């Protein structure tokens, strides 16, 4: 049985075939695109849809940023970006575009496979495990705010707000533990998992994006920075 479908997007054919070899060995199906135009087309037309996208930034036709934006218009499918630069700006940009993770070239193929499994675990639960028909409903509610992690749905003042999976998991975790302060490392461990390879700036980027969605919605709660410590979801009396 297939573990899922991975769309690999890179203009380097050798990299694509190397990734195909290692990823298929782990039980996944692999679809390849060599430019941004192919990537968008294959993502929209593949049946079933890809479960995850590995996306190079430097591509012909459309670059990886454009492809990521196009995918995010209609889907929260996990995306791992490939970047040739190990700079904070590039990492932050990946997350601001809605990517779930990034890998810096040159990379170890085994690391890519590990990241695929880690991202899918975070977004879909244990890989290969059977899903029961009745699942525990994961939902928290506050004034003008509903966070449903079962359906990955965020409603603000009654309106559904498109939110990437990792932002959903972060706000759900904070809101499920109101008034408790978490350091960035706490949140990386609890939300991203011990197998996350990034740094604490990742948390700051996701908090910033959540604030843009939630700022000033209600006087009864606030996503708050505790200077020198971390963040908390403050429930006000």
Q: What does the alpha-carbon distance between residue 126 and residue 30 come to, in Å, rounded to a whole number?
A: 20
pLDDT at position 195 is 53
- Nearest partner of 205 among 172, 231, 234, judged by Cα: 231
**Chain segment 58-80, per-residue pLDDT in tens:** 899 999 889 998 998 888 889 99
CATH architecture of 139-235: Orthogonal Bundle (1.10)
The answer to whether residues 8 and 16 touch, using CB atoms and an 8 Å cutoff, is: yes
The yes-or-no answer to whether 5-124 and 139-235 have a common fold is: no
Q: 67-70 long-range contacts, Cβ below 8 Å, gap at least 24?
A: 67/9, 67/36, 67/39, 67/40, 68/97, 68/98, 68/99, 69/97, 69/98, 70/40, 70/43
Q: In this model, does residue 6 exceed pLDDT 90? A: yes
**Chain segment 187-223, per-residue pLDDT in tens:** 888 887 655 555 677 888 889 989 999 989 999 999 9
Q: Is the pTM of this model over 0.85?
A: no
Q: Where are the domains of the chain?
A: 5-124, 139-235
Q: In this model, does residue 99 exceed pLDDT 50? A: yes
CATH architecture of 5-124: 3-Layer(aba) Sandwich (3.40)
The answer to whether residues 122 and 166 touch, using CB atoms and an 8 Å cutoff, is: yes
**Chain segment 143-167, per-residue pLDDT in tens:** 999 999 877 889 999 999 888 878 8
Lowest mean pLDDT among 14-23, 39-48, 62-71, 200-209: 200-209
pLDDT at position 224 is 93
Question: Predicted confidence band at 129 (pLDDT cuts at 50, 70, 90)?
Answer: very low
Task: Report the interhelical angle of 13-25 vs 109-124 (nearest 10°).
Answer: 60
């Amino acid at each position: 049985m297939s573990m899922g479908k991975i769309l690999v997007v890179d203009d380097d054919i050798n990299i694509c075939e190397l990734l195909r070899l290692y990823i298929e060995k782990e039980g996944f199906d692999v679809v390849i695109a060599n430019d941004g135009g192919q990537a968008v087309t294959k993502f929209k037309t593949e049946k079933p849809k890809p479960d995850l996208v590995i996306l190079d930034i430097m591509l012909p036709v459309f670059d990886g940023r454009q492809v990521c934006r196009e995918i995010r218009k209609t889907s929260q499918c996990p995306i791992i970006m490939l970047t040739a630069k190990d700079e904070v700006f590039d990492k932050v940009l990946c997350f601001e575009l809605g990517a779930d993770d990034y890998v810096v070239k040159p990379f170890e193929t085994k690391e890519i496979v590990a990241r695929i499994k880690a991202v899918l675990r975070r977004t879909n639960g244990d890989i290969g495990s059977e899903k029961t028909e009745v699942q525990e409903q994961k939902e928290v509610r506050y004034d003008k705010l509903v966070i449903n992690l079962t359906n990955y749905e965020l409603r603000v003042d009654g309106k559904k707000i498109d939110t990437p999976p990792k932002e959903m998991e972060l706000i759900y975790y904070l809101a499920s533990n109101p008034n408790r302060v978490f350091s960035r490392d706490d949140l990386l461990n609890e939300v991203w998992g011990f197998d996350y390879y990034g740094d604490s700036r990742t948390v700051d980027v996701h908090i910033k994006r959540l604030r843009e969605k939630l700022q000033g919605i209600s006087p009864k709660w606030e996503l708050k920075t505790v200077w020198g410590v971390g963040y908390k979801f403050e429930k006000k009396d």
